[in-house]
Chains A and B, each alone.
Chain A
Amino acid sequence: MATQARASTPSITVTVAKRERARPRSGPALIATVLRYLLLIVLALTFLLPFYWMASSALKNDSQVYTVPPVWIPRPAHWNNFPDAWLQYDFNRYMLNTVVRYALPATVATTLASALVAYGFSRLRWPGRDAFFFVCLMTMMIPFQVTMVPLFIVFKRLGWLNSYLPLVVPAFCGSPYFIFMLRQFFMTIPQELSDAARIDGAGEFSILLRIVLPLAQPALTVVALFQFMWSWNDYLGPLIYISKTALYPLALAINQLRTILVGVGLAPLAYPYLMAVSTVTTVPILIGFFFTQRTFIEGISLTGIKG
């Protein structure tokens, strides 16, 4: 029972730990290690360069932006760019829109719905189940562009434009990607647990609530994290449905700020302000990722490998 659950849970760390810790370091091996580190450090710095440029530019004043060669460490650092840009351009409102109107409801809805559906696809046996599941997987192949136009027309007729309903209501139907991910995880939970509960007279719904969901908490966390991040980052969805500035999410508000500042003949502090709000929008995602790295990465490998 326990082995079954353990064996099917992907665990990167276990594999790493198994490898011998102290390898005898001969000359060529040492050179290889040094080279590998050098390459990794150079690559890592290249990867971080855009982030560093973003954060450091957020601290510049006008003349520091236009200096040639570029200023890498702005002295003095203009920390007040952060509150100035954020408050002056109403970003608290946009953040609230993103979180309260979009990310939170979409996350709760899609997590619960996907868990329910995944239970039906994994823990229940019924005729036609695998055919339905195959169809569910196939829908992931359909490009968004195909359904984009009719959905826009429908939501327009319903009077849902300039609201988050077109983005939140479909979340109540779950998402095939998450259904797949949760199904893979649910299948690793020993069937004996459900059988025992059934003998005790528990219905399927209460088995889901009391046994499967508590055990599937890591997978549910991954789903919730992914959905929250996707909603927070989403640009195309709001771009199509939301044109009222007051309702903008952060993603649209940032581009709007660029149009206001950079578009109109480079207003002073355009780039520092733009980089400041970009930094503030990115940091929660990076922090969230950093603390949930293992869960996050296992979630991605789960869908990639078992797919």
Chain B
Amino acid sequence: MATLSLRRPPKSATRQHSLLLGLLFISPWLIGFLLFTIYPLVSSLYYGFTRYDLLNPPVPLGLGNYIDIFTQDPHFGKVVYNTLYYVGLSAPLGVVAAFLMASLLNTEMAGRSVFRAIFFFPAIVPAVVTAMVWAFLLNVQYGAINSTLAGLGLSTIPFLSSPELAKPSLILIHMWAQGNAIVIFLASLQDVPRSLYEAATVDGANTWHKFWNITVPMCTPVILFNLIMGFIGGFQNFILPWLLTQGGPNQATEFYSVYLYRNAFSYFRMGKASALAWILFVIIVTFTVILFKSSARWVYYGGGEE
């Protein structure tokens, strides 16, 4: 990452002046950081050790919420299972889908920007519209897919209304909305030096060899980036399960963030919701650290100019 070169060695008076000037310029963020990040972070930690229903003052509970979540809560295990199922499949599948589509687009051809726009569209549609359209599209009776199946005399598929298919259906919708990842992959595919492919062609490599031995390794840093984004987004997945399935059927889509929201704003268990949030935070940080640690084994950092 480029940093500005030091032009004049700062003297202590100018040093203090420059510090004040710097702080002045970043003051909007600094104020926001203290008010909307640090304060909520600290008080969330505190609320996590209390029982708080918004009406009465918080009652200190010690580790009560955490003990309740891990040992008594009948739903927590199922919620964690659902979330790991969803994250474990949606993040890698999303990355694979995005990478393949970006690779398909990574060639000079007519209509390239039109295809790119089409693949990108789902990423910018309001989530509520995505929910409404897919709810209708996947509807057992009137949806396009099932209505077509029924017209052909085939049996219908209860995409969102069966506990077995609800999670895969949500993963399918997730794979549809990979626009951001596609665009990021496309940019990184174009950074792969042409000379590598030319050299491989001279050596008699076929398209598959070139893809697997040049394209994929050269793109591993961006694969890691998109994978981490996929994991973080997956753990926080809320709107679609909230609107499409309300956590059902039979709690099949009661994901972590849905359960957390329900505890906070349906049951007004602010203390328990805060404890849940901190557990989520720890899980996300752990996952990210593990991914970064693993990256030494499979991510190729080479040819960096900076």
Contacts and interface: CB of A to CB of B under 8 A. Distances in A.
- Do A and B associate with each other? yes
Interface of A: 10, 12, 15-16, 19, 21, 32-33, 36-37, 39-40, 43-44, 47-51, 53-54, 57, 65-70, 113, 116-117, 119-130, 132, 135-136, 139, 141-154, 156, 170, 172-174, 176, 179, 187, 191, 195, 204, 229, 232-233, 235-236, 240, 250-252, 254-255, 258, 271, 274-275, 278, 281-282, 285-286, 289-290, 293, 297, 300-301, 304-307
A61 B187 CA distance: 44
A182 to B, nearest CB: 12
21 contacts: A50-B137, A68-B147, A68-B151, A70-B142, A125-B6, A130-B3, A147-B37, A147-B40, A149-B44, A151-B40, A172-B28, A235-B128, A235-B239, A254-B128, A282-B125, A289-B120, A293-B113, A300-B180, A304-B226, A305-B188, A305-B191
Contacts of A306: 1
B25 A143 contact: no
Given A47-B122, A150-B47, A282-B126, 9 more contacts: A43-B101, A67-B147, A113-B28, A117-B29, A141-B284, A141-B288, A150-B41, A255-B131, A271-B142
A281 B124 CA distance: 12
Given A120-B22, A153-B270, A51 B121 contact: yes
Given A236-B239, A285-B125, A301-B183, A271 B136 contact: yes
Given A47-B119, A282-B126, A305-B184, A143 B107 contact: no
B54 A153 contact: yes
Interface residues of B, number: 105
Contact of A258 (B132, B260, B273): B132
B161 to A, nearest CB: 14
Contacts of B184: 300-301, 304-305
Nearest to A304: B184
A143 B40 CA distance: 12
Interface in B177-229: 180, 183-184, 186-188, 190-191, 194, 207, 222, 225-226
A173 B29 CA distance: 5
A127 B23 CA distance: 10
Nearest to A32: B207
A155 B137 CA distance: 38
A174 B44 contact: no
B123 to A, nearest CB: 9
Interface stretch (B87-95, B162-170, B274-282): B274-282
A67 to B, nearest CB: 8
B187 A146 contact: no
Nearest to B101: A43
A37 B18 CA distance: 57
Contacts of B115: 40, 44
A82 B15 CA distance: 63
A44 B151 CA distance: 24
Contacts of A10: 187
Interface stretch (B59-67, B69-77, B230-238, B295-303): B230-238
Contacts of B21: 120, 124, 126, 204
B13 interface: no
A146 B129 contact: no
A122 B29 CA distance: 14
A70 B151 contact: yes
A117 B24 CA distance: 9
A150 B58 CA distance: 12
A156 B54 contact: yes
B124 A286 contact: yes
A304 B183 contact: yes
A149 B273 CA distance: 7
Interface centre among A19, A146, A233, A250 (most CB of B within 10 A): A146
Contacts of B10: 125
B132 A254 contact: yes
B133 A126 contact: no
A174 B180 CA distance: 22
A300 B41 CA distance: 29
Given A149-B274, A204-B25, A232-B126, A275 B132 contact: yes
B193 to A, nearest CB: 11
Contacts of A12: 186-187, 190
A156 B268 CA distance: 13
Given A15-B190, A147-B36, A278-B129, A69 B277 contact: no
Contacts of B183: 297, 300-301, 304
